[in-house]
Amino acid sequence: MSSEEVPVPASSPSVGGVKEKALIPPTQTSKEKICVLGAGSFGTAIASMLARNNHDVTILDRNEMRVKSINESHTNPDYLVGVALPSNLRATTSATDALTGAAYVFHAIPIQVSKKFLSQYTDLIAPTVPIVSMSKGIHCETLQFMNDIISEVFGEEQLSAYLSGPSFAKEIVLGMPTGFVLASTDVALAQRVGALISDDRRVRVWTTDDVVGVEVGGALKNVYAIAAGAVEGVGLGYNPTALVVTRGCSEIKKLAVKLGARPETLSGLSGIGDLMLTCFGPASRNRSVGVRIGRGESLQDVLVSMNEVAEGVPTIQAAHTLATKLHMLDQLPLLKAVHQVVHEGYPIPGILDGLMAIPVSEED
């Protein structure tokens, strides 16, 4: 076992033999002050989960009406409508209030605006205060992942971790059993953050030091969810949908490994786990974008009608650019095809053309 791996107790389950290490939920975790940046669906869900674990949790959000509703009626009027939030969860528009004294900061702002957003708070978040990123994607202009953005904004010494895995926000708030993977190059930090999140009945955390693998898996699954949704929406059937999802997983792994990830990470929760949920789950925003495009709606009309960001749309462009720079585009025919459909106006059945034209070869 390498020095970077966290040992798994004999009683702990494994996940497909990958290097995600099980974290046994503690019987008691000390109460911590935690700030969650952003009151969208996922930020609200994670804040609720942390508050349910009896932590002192404050959501920092710019919308005064949303903050008032969370504090007074314990509901988010814009996201997770009608779902009751823990009574001990509060929200504020004051960064000083939310961040001063916080032991942990959970980041749930879309990646395309994260650099500008985080740059406002460099004086309020010390390098020793861990930032736990839940944002998934690739920045269109810089081709950065969240790990790159956090390091650029706060410096290389900033403590950070990256939360991913198959997890719909509403199901988290409702307390349905959910598994996460938490990535950090600081193994002790991953264990500490995992202990904040875990409980004995509803939440299970696995840790890994493969930050690159977790970030690439979390970003690219949205791209292939749009492809799977488009195939479904145009009525091509279940066979090609399964084909898209399976080969999409292969393409994600190829790109991740090229960027330095371990291939087995993409067989875990942040890879195939998140991909499956996002491609087949009816609550998936990115899948819904694909389905609606497949049924004939324009991309612009679809996006205008949504009250949350579908990160897969800008990530398609960013991933296409990244693959081109890495001279990998020919190895990623699905990525190339979904870019043609979403950003170049090609007909949706063309998503399958590149796959079907591949000569008989050994499966990779």
Domains of the chain in sequence order: 32-209 (3.40.50.720), 213-356 (1.10.1040.10)
> Considering only CA atoms, which of 219, 7, 53 is closest in space to residue 133?
219
pTM of the model: 0.89
Helices 312-325 and 238-258 pack at an angle, to 10 degrees, of 50
Share above pLDDT 70 across residues of the chain, in percent, rounded to a whole number: 92
CB atoms within 10 A of CB 168: 19
pLDDT at 347: 86
- 64-78: pLDDT as tens digits: 999 999 999 999 999
pLDDT at 40: 95
Q: Does residue 364 carry a pLDDT above 90?
A: no
- 145-204: pLDDT as tens digits: 999 999 999 999 999 999 999 999 999 999 999 999 999 999 999 999 999 999 888 999
296 Rama sector, left if φ>0, alpha if ψ -120 to 50, beta otherwise: left
- Per-residue pLDDT, averaged over 3-11, amounts to 33
- C-alpha to C-alpha distance for 238 and 228, rounded to whole angstroms: 10
Let me know if 221 is a catalytic residue: yes
Contact 230, 293 (CB under 8 A): yes
- C-alpha to C-alpha distance for 51 and 56, rounded to whole angstroms: 6
- 255-306: pLDDT as tens digits: 999 999 999 999 999 999 999 999 999 999 999 999 999 999 999 999 999 9
Q: Does residue 4 carry a pLDDT above 50?
A: no
Question: Residue 12 — pLDDT band, cuts 50, 70, 90?
Answer: very low
Out of 136, 221, 253, 254, the active site residue is 221
- 341-362: pLDDT as tens digits: 988 888 888 788 777 777 677 7
Residue type, 14: S
- Token output for 89: 């969860």
- C-alpha to C-alpha distance for 58 and 208, rounded to whole angstroms: 27
- Per-residue pLDDT, averaged over 88-109, amounts to 97
SS (H, E, C) the chain: CCCCCCCCCCCCCCCCCCCCEEECCCCCCCCCEEEEECCCHHHHHHHHHHHHCCCEEEEECCCHHHHHHHHHCCCCCCCCCCCCCCCCCEEECCHHHHHCCCCEEEECCCHHHHHHHHHHHCCCCCCCCCEEECCCCCCCCCCCCHHHHHHHHHCCCCCEEEEECCCCHHHHHCCCCEEEEEECCCHHHHHHHHHHHCCCCCEEEEEECCHHHHHHHHHHHHHHHHHHHHHHHCCCCHHHHHHHHHHHHHHHHHHHHHCCCCHHHHHCHHHHHHHHHHHHCCCCHHHHHHHHHHCCCCHHHHHHCCCCCCCHHHHHHHHHHHHHHCCCHHHCHHHHHHHHHHHHCCCHHHHHHHHHCCCCCCCC
Contact 8, 208 (CB under 8 A): no
- 324-333: pLDDT as tens digits: 999 999 999 9
pLDDT at 20: 59
pLDDT at 16: 37
Strands 21-23 and 203-208: antiparallel
- Per-residue pLDDT, averaged over 85-92, amounts to 97
pLDDT at 316: 96
pLDDT at 19: 54
Window from 3-12, 222-231, 235-244, 297-306 with minimum mean pLDDT = 3-12
Q: Does residue 23 carry a pLDDT above 70?
A: no
Question: Residue 10 — pLDDT band, cuts 50, 70, 90?
Answer: very low
Q: Average pLDDT over the chain, rounded to whole?
A: 90
pLDDT at 1: 33
- Per-residue pLDDT, averaged over 92-104, amounts to 97
pLDDT at 29: 58
- Token output for 360: 């008989």
> Considering only CA atoms, which of 181, 111, 105, 186 is closest in space to residue 145?
111
- Per-residue pLDDT, averaged over 222-240, amounts to 93
pLDDT at 67: 98
